[in-house]
């Protein structure tokens, strides 16, 4: 065979020299071995055999048939050659291998990976030219595979000397770059941390399944990408990209990701817990999801509509919703959160109507120790709040009872409502009241209340009656609580403070009281003083002839208008009115007035001052004596 292409290849052309097709050996590698065994390069062999290089690189069926016919393969060999050769249609950059579809870039075309120990085994196993003995494994062409299952070592990345448009000459590349330094490469080959992922990957290529493996029903390309991304996020920082890592690190990361993911969603969630737990969250500022989850979030975000990743998106999404303080309505990996699942300090304080100080006092200082952010699940926070659910602020009490906040303070000062001791105020720094105490207080107020549909005066609400009576709310409530009122009512619409009804006149009577023996009411004083108009008693008080009771305050309508008994009795002994004088003299008032004037008896007080005719009783006695003598 020469490098010059004959005008036409006979249909019966057959190569006598060739090694058998090996398990998972791709077409380009197989053709490279045939070329090396027959003493030519890959390009020359394909040209001489009239095989289209590009078609063979695409896995075209006719090109594969032509290659297989060079050695008259069995039907099984032909099926294996097509199964393990990467193929794609013209214009399609995605590649199909062994029934699995991989995205562009998953198959190496300008480079290969080799295991130096496998190369040494091939040299010892096969005959013929040295460069024709090593054969290319399909795994060495696939990006996710970076370790050798048989020898447990990290594969070596080998760049091709010269590439074709659809691949490269594997035998020529190994002969130039691997065989001269094989002993050194074997000695320097790094041990892989594990080969479970590669073994599982190869089994999937062969069509073998493992029902106990959580990844078994996931497309191979998505499963391998997720394993790598999860391992990178677990072992490295959130900003790490695969290009930043060496081959050994990627092997370790992929192996770790596979070990976790194969166990199921619970194991994946545990790994994600570790990722979130190691992340250093600042005291303030927003939290980027990519900065938390790293590569595993990036790979899922880059494939938002690929159904192959849906299982992984669901796990990460649920973990983020449950572990990160995401606000309702926020979209994460294509789904919006309906209800909050994790609280921050701000959202927890807002939801419980507390200040930041009160919230931290409620959850404890250890929750934010060492400058940590306060993160607490909605369920856990609900349990914490439930322990102080009966602790009410003055504002809460006002909303519950109908009193104003100021009136609640007055009730506290009057000890009608007990406030919790400061040591028990876990809900915050402000004063707190117990809900049962508040409810018991309101029940006492309404225990004897009579339902009234349309109350009419003098029955009215406490708020309406108190200003006119100049009585404080607390004073009226004490009368109700002490059962000192004969009647208490309520609007039929409810049992709040605004629904409480009292009888204004009854309140006034109770407050004023019945008086004492040393006091004389105005009607009683008018009965004791003949001829004194009750409406003019205040004139006598102003003139100093009578005295108001010490308990009477003219500007306070709650006090009884009464006079001291001593002043009334002294007035009766000292003065007489014109009416009484007329009765004593036995004359009509007008005649009595002329008689007194003729006798020279003067008024005891100016009329303009007392608004009545007053005379001294001793002067009246002298006038009477003179009248009798006449």
pLDDT in tens, 143-170: 999 999 999 999 999 998 877 777 889 9
CB 180 within 8 A of CB 277: no
Q: What is the pTM of this model?
A: 0.66
282 pLDDT above the threshold of 60: no
pLDDT at residue 351, rounded to an integer: 66
Name the band, by pLDDT with cuts 50, 70 and 90, for residue 5: very low
Q: Vertex 469, ends 464 and 470: CA angle to 5°?
A: 100
As a whole number, the mean pLDDT across the chain is 84
Measured over the CA atoms of residue 352, residue 358, residue 363 and residue 368, the dihedral's sign is positive
Task: Provide CATH code, domain 391-445.
Answer: 1.10.1660
Look up tokens 């909050």; give the residue: 340
CB 125 within 8 A of CB 133: yes
Look up tokens 């309101």; give the residue: 442
Peptide bond into 458 cis (omega under 30): yes
Q: Name which of 512, 522, 535, 624 is nearest 576 in CA terms.
A: 624
488's enclosing H/E stretch is: strand 488-491
- Sorted by sequence, the CB contacts under 8 Å of residue 106 that are 6+ apart come out as 95, 142, 143, 144, 221
Rounded to whole angstroms, how far apart are CA atoms 597 and 611? 18
Which stretches of 470-616 are DSSP H helices? 473-481, 504-512, 522-528, 537-542, 565-574, 578-585, 589-598, 607-610
CB 191 within 8 A of CB 154: yes
399's enclosing H/E stretch is: helix 394-401
Which stretches of 126-246 are DSSP H helices? 138-141, 170-177, 182-188, 196-205, 220-235
Q: Tell me: the pLDDT tens digits for 452-468?
A: 988 888 888 888 888 87
Q: Tell me: the pLDDT tens digits for 229-267?
A: 999 999 998 889 999 999 999 999 999 999 999 999 999
Structure tokens at 267: 């194991």
Structure tokens at 506: 């009854």
What integer is the mean pLDDT of 100-122? 93
* Size (the chain), residues: 630
Name the band, by pLDDT with cuts 50, 70 and 90, for residue 4: very low
Rounded to whole angstroms, how far apart are CA atoms 354 and 37? 83
463's enclosing H/E stretch is: helix 462-469
Look up tokens 């303080």; give the residue: 325
β-bridge mates for residue 614, sequence order: 577
Counting residues of the chain whose pLDDT is more than 90, the rounded percentage is 39
Rounded to whole angstroms, how far apart are CA atoms 494 and 476? 20
CB 1 within 8 A of CB 48: yes
Q: Name which of 29, 14, 12 is nearest 86 in CA terms.
A: 29
Q: Name which of 316, 383, 319 is nearest 348 in CA terms.
A: 383
pLDDT at residue 457, rounded to an integer: 86
Counting residues of the chain whose pLDDT is more than 70, the rounded percentage is 84
At 236, give phi and psi (nearest 5°): -130, 175
CB 418 within 8 A of CB 433: yes
HSE of 606, CA atoms in CB hemisphere, 13 A? 4
pLDDT at residue 589, rounded to an integer: 85
Domain boundaries, the chain: 27-188, 209-339, 343-387, 391-445, 450-512, 519-629
């Amino acid at each position: 065979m020469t490098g010059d292409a004959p005008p036409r290849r006979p249909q019966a052309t057959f190569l006598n020299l060739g090694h058998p097709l090996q398990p998972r050996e791709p077409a380009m590698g197989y053709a490279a071995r045939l070329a090396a065994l027959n003493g030519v390069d890959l390009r020359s062999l394909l040209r001489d055999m009239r095989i289209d290089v590009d078609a063979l690189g695409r896995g075209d069926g006719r090109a594969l048939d032509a290659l297989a016919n060079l050695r008259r393969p069995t039907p099984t060999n032909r099926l294996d050659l097509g199964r393990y050769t990467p193929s794609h249609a013209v214009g399609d950059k995605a590649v199909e291998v062994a029934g699995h579809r991989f995205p562009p870039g998953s198959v190496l075309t300008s480079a290969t990976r080799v295991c130096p120990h496998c190369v040494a085994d091939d040299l010892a196993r096969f005959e013929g030219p040295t460069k024709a003995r090593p054969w290319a494994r399909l795994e060495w062409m696939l990006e996710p595979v970076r370790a050798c299952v048989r020898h447990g070592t990290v594969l070596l990345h080998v760049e091709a000397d010269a590439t074709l448009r659809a691949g490269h000459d594997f035998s020529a590349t190994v002969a130039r770059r691997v065989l001269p330094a094989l002993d050194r490469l074997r000695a320097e080959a790094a041990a892989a941390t594990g080969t479970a992922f590669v073994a599982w990957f190869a089994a999937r290529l062969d069509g073998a399944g493992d029902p106990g493996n959580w990844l078994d029903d996931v497309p191979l390309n998505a499963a391998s990408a997720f394993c790598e991304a999860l391992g990178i996020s677990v072992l490295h920082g959130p900003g790490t990209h695969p290009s930043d890592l060496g081959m050994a690190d990627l092997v370790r990361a992929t192996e770790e990701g596979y070990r976790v993911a194969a166990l199921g969603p619970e194991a994946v969630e545990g790994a994600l817990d570790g990722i979130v737990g190691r992340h250093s969250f600042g005291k303030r500022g927003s939290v980027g999801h990519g900065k938390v989850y790293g590569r595993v979030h990036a790979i899922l975000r880059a494939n938002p509509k690929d159904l192959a990743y849906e299982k992984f998106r669901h796990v990460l999404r649920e973990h983020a919703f449950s572990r990160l303080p995401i606000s309702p309505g926020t979209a994460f990996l294509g789904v919006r959160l309906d209800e909050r699942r994790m609280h921050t300090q701000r959202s927890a304080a807002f939801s419980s109507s507390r200040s930041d100080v009160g919230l931290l006092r409620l959850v404890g200082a250890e929750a934010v120790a060492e400058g940590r952010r306060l993160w607490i699940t909605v369920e856990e926070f609900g349990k914490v709040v439930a322990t102080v659910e009966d602790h009410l602020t003055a504002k809460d009490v006002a909303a519950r009872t109908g009193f104003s906040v100021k009136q609640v303070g007055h009730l506290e000062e009057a000890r009608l409502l007990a406030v919790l001791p400061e040591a028990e105020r876990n809900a915050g720094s402000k004063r707190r009241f117990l809900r049962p105490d508040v409810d018991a207080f309101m029940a006492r107020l309404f225990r004897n209340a009579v339902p009234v549909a349309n109350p009419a005066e003098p029955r009215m609400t406490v708020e309406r009656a108190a200003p006119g009576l100049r009585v404080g709310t607390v004073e009226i409530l004490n009368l109700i609580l002490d059962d000192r009122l004969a009647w208490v009512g309520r609007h039929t619409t409810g049992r709040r403070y605004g629904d409480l009804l009292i009888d204004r006149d009854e309140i006034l009577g109770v407050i004023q009281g019945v008086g004492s023996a040393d006091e004389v009411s105005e009607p009683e004083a008018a009965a004791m003083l003949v001829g004194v108009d009750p409406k003019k008693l205040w004139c006598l008080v102003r003139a100093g002839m009578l005295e108001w009771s010490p308990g009477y305050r003219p500007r306070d309508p709650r006090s009884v208008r009464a006079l001291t008994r001593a002043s009334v009795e002294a007035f009766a002994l000292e003065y007489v009115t014109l009416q009484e004088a007329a009765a004593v003299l036995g004359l009509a008032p007008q005649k009595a007035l002329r008689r007194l004037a003729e006798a020279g008896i003067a008024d005891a007080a100016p009329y303009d001052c007392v608004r009545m005719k007053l005379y001294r009783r001793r002067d009246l006695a002298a006038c009477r004596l003179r009248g009798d003598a006449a």
